Amino acid sequence: MKNKLRVVELFAGVGGFRLGLEKAGHKTVWANQWEPNKKVQHAFNCYSKNFPNDNFIDINKDIDKVKIENIPNHDLLVGGFPCQDYSVATVGPKGLKGKKGVLWWNIEKIVRNKKPPYILLENVDRLIKSPKNQRGRDFGVMLSCLHNLGYCVEWRIIDSSNYGFPQRRKRVFIFAAKKGTKWFNNLKEHHKKPNFLHNIGFFSHEFDVLNPEKDLNLTEKIKYIENTKKISDKFVYKFENSGFLYNDIICSKKLKPNFLGESKALKDILIKNVDDKYFIYDKEEINKWKKLREAKKKNVTRKDGQTFIWSEGKMTFPDSIDIPSRTIVTSSSGKTPSRFKHIINDPWKNELRILTAEEVELLSGFPKGWTNNCNMPESWRYFCMGNALVVGLVEKMGKTLSK
């Protein structure tokens, strides 16, 4: 019999976590989505359009101002908390001390007060290496917080394209289980086994990896895990793409995906007969696109006087449609030449064009038109998908929690 969990969704965006978890049979009992400094709450308007029967208190309110008593008890707390302060695309990311990085402490406050059995969070993969001048500190602080609140933790960096999805999107997922739950006991009983991360842990049930080394010792003690302040001041650690924390034992290992199912490519979601406004015919504009895709290298001097060589590799022009797409970013809209936007050769017209908003939705696993019909500007449709997760990954995790 399936376990139907009561879910609270933070930083909900346009509802990717909810969509995936409800496909797996779970029920959302409360959500919060708030975009600071925006008069029109486009993401929330889209969320409320697609989930019209909610009567949640404070659903569209600054999470810092939401009263704990207005958040119902729940079994699973989820959220793709804002990543700008961890993202490699951010100039001088400040991690937990940044304006959006501090939102971690809202999560910690809710966990401390509501004590949900399970937590599932998502962020950019760079989180585990943040900040640049003290690698691993921010993730170490998060682990320390969860440890002090009575949770064990597993994490896995997952590239959605490695498991059959048509977008190359690499994100870290963090799963925490409270002491006394079945998943906590699973880690307690089996964490010393060399194949725990491969065959026994939470992520192993839906995300296959290559077989482990049978004689490798994977665990070590983590210093002063109970002292979050000391972790913040002194902790440095090289986190690999998979691992766990149980009590003061930490395991970190680089795993390689081993997906044997059917994989999708960009061409599998392309839409035929798209509007002419998405096509690029001007030769000068096309040449600008090409130039931006070329390799670049130059000397850069920092404010402190240190110099380094900044370089970018050559990128394919146009994007291949026979493999999964590159990561959708928030600035993916419009025909202005860009290194990071997607430009393809339309297979039906044999002309260059950008991706449509509907195609970007499909690349992230949302139904076609998910962000349409809610008075959202087209640029915001791309923006929301640039912030969204791949829905199918969350559905897989939801299925594991249902078993």
The residues carrying an active-site annotation are: 83
Q: Which amino acid, one-letter code, is at 352?
A: L
How far apart CA 20 and CA 173 sit, in angstroms, is 14
Q: What is the H or E stretch that residue 159 is in?
A: strand 151-159
At 154, is the secondary structure helix, strand, or coil?
A: strand
Nearest residue to 371 via CA among 45, 11, 21, 31: 45
Cα–Cα distance list, 228 to 149, 223, 225, 342 (Å): 12, 11, 7, 42
Cα 234–92–325 angle (5° rounding)? 110
Q: What is Dmax (Cα atoms) for the chain? A: 64
Residue 290 burial (CB < 10 Å; 0-12/13-18/19+)?
A: middle
The alpha carbon of residue 48 and the mean position of all alpha carbons in its chain are separated, in whole angstroms, by 22
How far apart CA 149 and CA 245 sit, in angstroms, is 13
How far apart CA 280 and CA 213 sit, in angstroms, is 51
Residue 10 neighbours by CB distance under 10 Å: 23
Cα–Cα distance list, 235 to 223, 227, 239, 243, 394 (Å): 8, 11, 12, 17, 31
How far apart CA 84 and CA 98 sit, in angstroms, is 8
Residue 55 neighbours by CB distance under 10 Å: 5
- Beta strands 6-10 and 307-312, pairing class: unpaired
Dihedral of the alpha carbons of 175, 3, 20, 375, in degrees to the nearest 10: -110
Nearest residue to 251 via CA among 196, 185, 292: 196
Residue 225, token pair as written in the block: 């895990």
- Beta strands 151-159 and 219-221, pairing class: unpaired
